[in-house]
Chain A
Amino acid sequence: MQEIDPTIHSTDVPVIHETHVEHNGNGHDHHHKQSFITKYIFSQDHKTIAKQFLITGMTWAIVGGLFSVLFRLQLAYPDESFSILETFFGRWAQGGQIQPEFYYALITMHGTVLVFFVLTGGLSGTFANLLIPLQIGARDMASPFLNMLSYWFFFMASVVMFSSLFVQTGPASGGWTVYPPLSALGLASEGSKIGMDLWITSMALFVVSSLLGGLNYITTILNMRTKGMSMTRMPLTMWAIFFTAILGVLSFPVLLSGFILLLFDRNLGTSFYLSDIVVAGQILPNEGGSAILYQHLFWFLGHPEVYIIILPAMGLVSEVMSVNARKPIFGYMAMVGSLFAITVLAFLVWAHHMFVTGLNPLLGAFFVLLTLLIAIPSAIKVFNWITTLWRGNIHFTPGMMFAIGFVSLFISGGLTGIFLGNSTIDIHLHDTYFVVAHFHIVMGVSAFFGMFAGVYHWFPKMFGRYLNNTLGYIHFWVTIAGAYLIFWPMHYQGFAGVPRRYLDFRLWSSFNQFTELNKMITIVSIIVFAAQLMFVFNFFYSIFKGRKVRTANPWGSTTLEWTTPINPGHGNWPGEIPEVHRWSYDYAKDGREFIPQTEPVGAKESKH
């Protein structure tokens, strides 16, 4: 079916497809019509796969968000009973109160699901698949089949993870980092029984999905750019996704190896992570392993992972911001350079998660230095975004609002990283609510904002309709105000040393002074969750009933995806793939509102 030779640029392909317009007009030589199954389910069209990733990701986001509402209820009202919980969760919420095992299962699943399934699978999977071929000018990914497999491995990972919620001993419950020995020993925790095996299986499938996707993204960006699309003419979304994919390809295998050793320790009696253990009255035979080894393997991915989450968001924000400020992104090369710097540094900072594990202090010192170095490219990016707004003509589309919100949150959460990256302060703040506040703002909420910016901006490309604007504005204001109300005060809880992962503080005289605050946070998080449900509703409603897109380029954007028909078929462009003559940020140049990338450079045009 696939007859496109990736080594041949579009313009070299003889134009034999003009007569095939009725076949989605896509330049592929289809021998028969696509059935429902090949079009919507086992589709190899990157746009459909993107939608599959997005909708799966959204489903998981609702599940993960709901978990957070449940455990926030416990934190706010530890002594109250909610009979509705017992109705739904039975013995997990005996007497209408969330049991400790249930609480820990909830936080573990909340973390796993949102970090991996939503902000990695859902974010990269969606926008890499949607935008790479459209923005570099390709008919599809380098390997549409691997791309399809990438989604279906993700789907299988989802099924396995979801099934683990229903096993009798419950899902994994050792926190999303699943540190052994806790995660290795069924004796130490109910969640470390079958639920943990399912967790590892699911994550292994997820890693496969991520690798298949990542290799495809890298190959496509390197090899399949249309004529004239040099690397430095690509939109920043492409650079961000490119670096993200490299990070993923280099670090996910390390995580997988860590998980496999854990699986061995759990089931085959090895001692990679286990030594000197007396648990539940039993003396285990294991000797010589190191529990810290796992943490090195985990964070060697775990830290790049946070950049895997945030880089695509940065790319989306850069693009959306430039388009809607009607002005080129400021410092394009600096933006690319800082993405590159972050990518390299991402591999060199993992042990800053381990300052208090007994790490050699000298080694810790190097990690402090390298960690704080990341603040420099991050600062460059922030200043460049702000300068992009300066003297622009800002169109506050919902996408643009989320892009601006992203920058605000990235500043707030990034600055607290300077606290935690400094080992001296980390001694006090490690594993307190300060950490919770930090990473939720900087990679949780901001990455969501990047994703929302992308969804609002490219929804017209995905579905040929607009999302409802009013709901978009409400969504934005509730979410940004809510995010700050929820997470800002948590910094103070962190200063007070309040530990994470406690479900009840009544036992403690040092940490029990935040009862009122915890209630406020819970109420706000319920409201914010409701606003997200409204977004989901808007999303599905608008797919079918939204206002129709009537112009090919509704935002007045320079990039290639807006040169396709409003509802592009498989293959994206009905005729030849357009040729590119300039970079993607010629806004406001020479008195013109924007100049599409496809327009040849005029003789009198000024240089930048």
Chain B
Amino acid sequence: MSTTWIIIALILGFIVVFQIAKASEYVAILRGEEKTRKENNRVNAFLMLAFLIAGLFGVWYCNEKLKGKILGEAASNHGERIDTMLYITIIITGIVFLITQILLFWFAYKYQDSDKRKPFYYPHNNRLEVIWTVIPAIVLTVLVGFGLYYWFQITGEAPKNAMVVEITGKQFNWEFRYPGKDGELGKKYFKEVNEAEGNPLGQIWSDPANHDDKYTTLEMHIVVNKPVKLIINAKDVIHDVGLAHFRLKMDAVPGIPTTMWFTPKYTTRQMKEKYGQDFNYEISCDQMCGKGHFTMRGVVIVESQAEFNAWLATKPTQYSVAMGDGTTQPAVAPAKTTDSTAANKATGKLMN
């Protein structure tokens, strides 16, 4: 019902505005078009000034209302650099914004049509133009310099002691794989993927490095103050690992693994104490991936090394799950799984 009323109100408002507008045209003709034009000019010139003042107030007000709603402090080493860069850019562009907007609207107001003034024939001035070519160039050099300095730190090689976690995006959730004691992730091949037989990632069981790898979904556990290197995969379409609190993001592309590393600074518990119990480090998918894109949520748990070790110990290796045995690990892989044709046949059966 309210929808109908809103539509009726809109139509009525529309008719009223139109009638006024039409009447104003007749009035203009009656009073003399030039006189009306001058009056309109004065009104609009004044509104330009009013808009500038209201706009600057609005910028301040918006900041007051919303500054508390943006993310808290960056929770990773890289995030700090990104925030620093962000603040440098806000300050520089803020100054330019204020100067140019004020000049624009002030000139619009000040130089409104007037019989007393003749416009100034001023087609060019080389010195001025050089000045406002060189100054932006210098400022931008500074921004590029800072930006690239941080960029290479962030995208540089991960430290040697970094723990490795593999994260795989699929419609519409995240899967994780941790290397076991060997610290190495086993090889994968997408045609080995077989959810029914406990191989959601397509691990190749003939690779012994796979035997102690552990698989989880939904939650990614990492250790506070320890660098972590993410190996990022996608199974179906492009996804993106978005870690807003760590200020990081990297696409997950099928067929092309990508990486990203960072050092988390605060445990989840510390952040909950600071920002409330609702706080979660969330993994958002930041690349359009289909109808469930907006539900593709994962959670990062940052914890101490001891907590992490305890948690990981409770998880079975995926190899044992696939082999139908949750407790022991066979020393060698059964021969049949090394045969990819057999695996494909099994997949085919599944499809049928």
Q: Enumerate chain A interface residues (CB-CB to B < 8 A).
A: 82-84, 100-101, 104, 173-175, 179-182, 185, 188-190, 274-283, 287, 289-292, 325-334, 356-358, 361, 364-365, 368-369, 372-373, 375-376, 379-380, 382-387, 389-396, 401, 404, 407-408, 411-412, 415-416, 418-419, 422-425, 427-428, 430-432, 468-471, 473-474, 477, 480-481, 484-485, 488-489, 492, 495-497, 499-505, 507-511, 513-514, 517, 530, 533-534, 537-538, 547, 585, 587-591, 608
Going nearest first, the 7 A-B pairs with the smallest beta carbon separation are A497-B244, A275-B255, A358-B258, A361-B155, A391-B120, A502-B294, A276-B255
Within 8 A of A (CB), among B187-208: 190-191, 193, 195, 202
By the criterion CB–CB under 8 Å, are B295 and A507 in contact? yes
Q: Is B331 an interface residue (CB 8 A)?
A: no
Across-interface contacts of A500 in B (CB, < 8 A): 286, 288
Across-interface contacts of B284 in A (CB, < 8 A): 497, 499, 508, 510-511
A25 to chain B, nearest CB (A): 29
Q: What separation, in Å, do the CA atoms of A218 and B132 have in the docked complex?
A: 31
Q: Is B321 an interface residue (CB 8 A)?
A: no
A327 to chain B, nearest CB (A): 4
Interface bits B122-139 vs A (CB < 8 Å: 1, else 0): 111100110011001100
By the criterion CB–CB under 8 Å, are B66 and A489 in contact? yes
Assuming the contacts A279-B236, A372-B140, A585-B123, asked whether A325 and B111 have C-beta atoms less than 8 A apart, the reply is yes
A166 to chain B, nearest CB (A): 19
Q: What separation, in Å, do the CA atoms of A185 and B254 have in the docked complex?
A: 13
Across-interface contacts of A280 in B (CB, < 8 A): 171, 236
Assuming the contacts A104-B288, A290-B255, A503-B294, asked whether A356 and B250 have C-beta atoms less than 8 A apart, the reply is yes
Q: What separation, in Å, do the CA atoms of A383 and B137 have in the docked complex?
A: 14
Assuming the contacts A283-B190, A530-B10, asked whether A422 and B288 have C-beta atoms less than 8 A apart, the reply is no
A290 to chain B, nearest CB (A): 7
Partner of B136, one of A379, A404, A474, A489: A379
Partner of B251, one of A82, A333, A356: A356
By the criterion CB–CB under 8 Å, are A496 and B190 in contact? no
Can you list 24 A-B contacts (CB < 8 A)? A173-B291, A275-B255, A277-B235, A278-B193, A357-B253, A358-B256, A368-B147, A375-B140, A386-B100, A390-B107, A390-B120, A391-B120, A392-B119, A393-B114, A394-B41, A419-B86, A424-B148, A431-B249, A492-B66, A495-B86, A497-B71, A510-B282, A547-B29, A591-B118
Across-interface contacts of A101 in B (CB, < 8 A): 291
Assuming the contacts A389-B107, A391-B120, A422-B89, asked whether A334 and B129 have C-beta atoms less than 8 A apart, the reply is yes
B145 to chain A, nearest CB (A): 10
A431 to chain B, nearest CB (A): 4
Q: What separation, in Å, do the CA atoms of A517 and B132 have in the docked complex?
A: 38
Q: What separation, in Å, do the CA atoms of A285 and B2 have in the docked complex?
A: 53
Q: Enumerate chain B interface residues (CB-CB to A < 8 A).
A: 3, 10, 14, 17-18, 20-22, 24-25, 28-29, 37, 40-41, 44-45, 47-48, 51, 55, 58-59, 62-63, 66-67, 69-71, 78-79, 81-82, 85-86, 89, 92-93, 96-97, 100-101, 103-105, 107-108, 111-114, 117-125, 128-129, 132-133, 136-137, 140, 143-144, 146-148, 150-152, 154-156, 170-171, 190-191, 193, 195, 202, 232, 235-238, 240, 242, 244-245, 247-251, 253-256, 258-259, 278-280, 282, 284-295, 297, 344, 347, 350-351
By the criterion CB–CB under 8 Å, are A84 and B40 in contact? no
Q: What separation, in Å, do the CA atoms of A423 and B150 have in the docked complex?
A: 9
Determine chain B's interface SS by DSSP, over half rule.
Answer: helix
By the criterion CB–CB under 8 Å, are A428 and B86 in contact? yes
By the criterion CB–CB under 8 Å, are A188 and B254 in contact? no
Partner of B238, one of A179, A492, A496, A517: A179
Partner of B235, one of A278, A382, A384, A389: A278
Q: What separation, in Å, do the CA atoms of A585 and B290 have in the docked complex?
A: 52
Assuming the contacts A291-B254, A356-B240, A368-B148, asked whether A326 and B119 have C-beta atoms less than 8 A apart, the reply is yes
Q: What separation, in Å, do the CA atoms of A360 and B135 have in the docked complex?
A: 31
By the criterion CB–CB under 8 Å, are B133 and A376 in contact? yes
A296 to chain B, nearest CB (A): 13
Assuming the contacts A389-B111, A404-B104, A471-B17, asked whether A179 and B288 have C-beta atoms less than 8 A apart, the reply is yes
B125 to chain A, nearest CB (A): 8
Since A179-B238, A390-B122, A422-B89 are in contact, a sample of 8 more A-B pairs with Cβ atoms closer than 8 Å, ordered by chain A residue number, is: A278-B193, A356-B240, A369-B144, A391-B117, A418-B93, A428-B79, A470-B25, A496-B70
A298 to chain B, nearest CB (A): 13
Across-interface contacts of A432 in B (CB, < 8 A): 286
By the criterion CB–CB under 8 Å, are B25 and A508 in contact? no
A332 to chain B, nearest CB (A): 7
Across-interface contacts of B259 in A (CB, < 8 A): 358
Closest A residue to B115 by CB, please name it.
A393
By the criterion CB–CB under 8 Å, are B244 and A510 in contact? yes
Across-interface contacts of A379 in B (CB, < 8 A): 132-133, 136
Partner of A534, one of B14, B67, B193, B195: B14
By the criterion CB–CB under 8 Å, are B144 and A368 in contact? yes
Partner of A100, one of B113, B255, B294: B294
Partner of B150, one of A282, A328, A376, A424: A424
Across-interface contacts of A407 in B (CB, < 8 A): 104
Q: What separation, in Å, do the CA atoms of A468 and B25 have in the docked complex?
A: 7
By the criterion CB–CB under 8 Å, are A496 and B71 in contact? yes
B218 to chain A, nearest CB (A): 13
Closest B residue to A471 by CB, please name it.
B21
Across-interface contacts of A277 in B (CB, < 8 A): 190, 235-236, 254-255
Closest A residue to B86 by CB, please name it.
A425
Across-interface contacts of A470 in B (CB, < 8 A): 20-21, 24-25
Assuming the contacts A358-B256, A474-B17, asked whether A423 and B100 have C-beta atoms less than 8 A apart, the reply is no
Across-interface contacts of B238 in A (CB, < 8 A): 179, 181-182, 291
By the criterion CB–CB under 8 Å, are A608 and B121 in contact? yes
By the criterion CB–CB under 8 Å, are A368 and B151 in contact? yes
A538 to chain B, nearest CB (A): 8
Q: What separation, in Å, do the CA atoms of A416 and B250 have in the docked complex?
A: 21
By the criterion CB–CB under 8 Å, are B85 and A473 in contact? no
Closest B residue to A516 by CB, please name it.
B65
By the criterion CB–CB under 8 Å, are B120 and A392 in contact? yes
A315 to chain B, nearest CB (A): 18
A450 to chain B, nearest CB (A): 15
B158 to chain A, nearest CB (A): 13
Across-interface contacts of B249 in A (CB, < 8 A): 356, 427-428, 430-431
Partner of A508, one of B69, B282, B291: B282
By the criterion CB–CB under 8 Å, are A422 and B137 in contact? no
A314 to chain B, nearest CB (A): 15
Assuming the contacts A188-B237, A395-B113, A408-B104, asked whether A428 and B10 have C-beta atoms less than 8 A apart, the reply is no
Partner of B118, one of A189, A289, A292, A393: A393
Across-interface contacts of A181 in B (CB, < 8 A): 236-238, 254
Across-interface contacts of B51 in A (CB, < 8 A): 477, 480-481
By the criterion CB–CB under 8 Å, are B256 and A290 in contact? yes
Closest A residue to B258 by CB, please name it.
A358
A300 to chain B, nearest CB (A): 18
Across-interface contacts of A514 in B (CB, < 8 A): 69
Q: What separation, in Å, do the CA atoms of A326 and B287 have in the docked complex?
A: 49
Q: What separation, in Å, do the CA atoms of A432 and B248 have in the docked complex?
A: 12
Closest A residue to B137 by CB, please name it.
A376
A523 to chain B, nearest CB (A): 10
Across-interface contacts of B347 in A (CB, < 8 A): 283
By the criterion CB–CB under 8 Å, are B82 and A587 in contact? no
By the criterion CB–CB under 8 Å, are B18 and A386 in contact? no
Closest B residue to A501 by CB, please name it.
B288
Across-interface contacts of A499 in B (CB, < 8 A): 242, 284-286, 294
B281 to chain A, nearest CB (A): 8
Across-interface contacts of A387 in B (CB, < 8 A): 122, 128
